[in-house]
Amino acid sequence: MRLQLETLRRSLRARLLLGTLIWICIALIATGFALTSLFKKHATNQFQATLQVHLNQLSANFEVNAQNQPFLTSPLSDPRFTQPLSGLYWQVSNQQYSPVLRSRSLWDDALTLPHSLAMEPPPHTMTTMQFNGTSLRVLERRVRLPDHPNQAWYLVVAANTEDLEHAISEWVRMLSVFLAVLFVSLCSAAIMQVLVGLAPLRSLQSALHRLRDGSLERLEGKYPQEVQPLIDDFNNVLDHSVQVVTRARAQTGDLAHAIKTPLTILANAAGRDLDQPGPTGDLARLVSEQVNNLQHHVEWRLKRARTAASISLSQIRTPVAPLLDQLLRVMKRLHAEQDINVQIRIEPRDIIFKGEMQDLQEILGNILDNACKWATSSVSIDVSTYNQALCIVIDDDGPGLKVEQREEVMKRGVRADEQIPGSGLGLAIAKDLTDLYGGALILDESPLGGLRVELRF
């Protein structure tokens, strides 16, 4: 879980998407609450305005006769006042708050309002009450007629809030559906925007992969103006690296010529006195021996320099199968007296090594020579690819190596058994060349009982 969070934190795509989606959620939720609040306020105001119209009409038609009896000069216009329990009601109460007139819609019931309303100074008040199990919004007005100034009347209009609540809930439902569709649309647009916006980075990643493989020498193509300066700087660094390596190779050649010529002169001079008796011959042999060592050392260092340069600049590809077939023919001649059975498996047959043929030949040649030298009867070679990496596994059925010996034998000049002829340089050379290509050489116990050498490039 922690690794996944760290991956998300380091992913530019994940950070952009997560930030966009969180902002979309917050914005849509806030919009939903705001629109719902506005609609609820608007619907409630319209509901109350309708009640106000009915109350005004009731007030306009209200009269009191000579006997101090209230009556309406004409019925109210809304037909729901005449339908029993329609949800729209009116009522007139006297000063003692007793109903004296009421709408047909109340049937035999009456609205029982809190007496505290009669004590309130405003000319009309709004409240909510329960009636027959339903919620009513009530608008009340206290009136006094000029002919009866000492008599107060309370005119009440009430309406069921069920329609208002239904309208609000329907609005919330429709708004939720709309916001959900909008959320999906915005998320899809955000994903597309991120994918399209980061597409140049994916192209850059692919170009870098081809550059690392050697199929490209420079980054080419059209990139956004925000990325193009990075591409230009990177290409400048590549050009500078090529120049540095080229100069290094030229200087290496110059150094080889400068050193090898004096060494050749010394070797020739010493060679003339090798057969001389006494100190002269001893000195000549000593000089000849040391000059040969220096020549081998110079050749080895120059070869490593050439290999490093070729790895940096080369686009060379070496097929593995033909090279292995050639090496196996050589090994059969070198170790013909041992009658070694060599089995090879290459899948697929067109596997390639990204580098010089001579380097791979030297790596595999040294390892196969050791395997055939130590094997009892069989050697197996398995070549495959794993995660775009070249894997070569060589097993033998020889005595193998102890765990503490495996690291030592890859040091220059170290031999596992002095009774077997050799210089102790084979694995060291293979290890050095493998490291130059950024690969790995691993020694392990073989299923055949001997040593397993695994190469990964």
- Residue 405: what pLDDT? 80
- Residue 258: what pLDDT? 67
Mean pLDDT, all residues of the chain: 79
> Which DSSP category does 79 fall into?
G
CB 375 within 8 A of CB 396: yes
pLDDT digits over 287-341, tens only? 777 777 677 667 766 666 665 555 554 556 788 888 888 888 888 888 878 888 8
- Residue 416: what pLDDT? 46
> Which DSSP category does 121 fall into?
-
- Residue 251: what pLDDT? 65
Cα angle for residues 121, 115, 53 (degrees, 5° grid):
60
CB 129 within 8 A of CB 160: no
Tokens standing for 24?
Answer: 């979309």
Give the distance from CA 189 to its chain's centroid: 18
- Residue 232: what pLDDT? 82
Domain 318-456, CATH 3.30.565.10 — does that match?
yes
Lowest mean pLDDT among 31-40, 186-195, 205-214, 323-332: 205-214
Whether residue 124 has pLDDT greater than 80: no
Lowest mean pLDDT among 3-7, 89-93, 137-141, 438-442: 3-7
- Residue 422: what pLDDT? 42
The highest-confidence range among 260-269, 367-376, 410-419, by mean pLDDT, is: 367-376
Of 454 and 269, more confident: 454
Lowest mean pLDDT among 164-168, 175-179, 261-265, 434-438: 261-265
- Residue 253: what pLDDT? 60
Of 241 and 167, more confident: 167
Question: E-strand spans in 279-340?
Answer: 318-319
How far apart CA 115 and CA 127 sit, in angstroms, is 12
**Domain boundaries, given as residue ranges, for the chain:** 1-209, 228-313, 318-456
Where do runs of H (alpha helix) occur along 214-347? 228-272, 279-313, 320-334
Which residues contact residue 402 at a Cβ distance below 8 angstroms, ignoring those fewer than 6 apart?
none
Tokens standing for 88?
Answer: 């729209």
Rounded to 10°, the helix 2-10/12-61 angle is: 90
Q: How confident is the model at residue 40 (pLDDT cuts 50, 70, 90)?
A: very high
Of 364 and 289, more confident: 364
Q: How confident is the model at residue 259 (pLDDT cuts 50, 70, 90)?
A: confident
Whether residue 121 has pLDDT greater than 50: no
> Which DSSP category does 115 fall into?
G
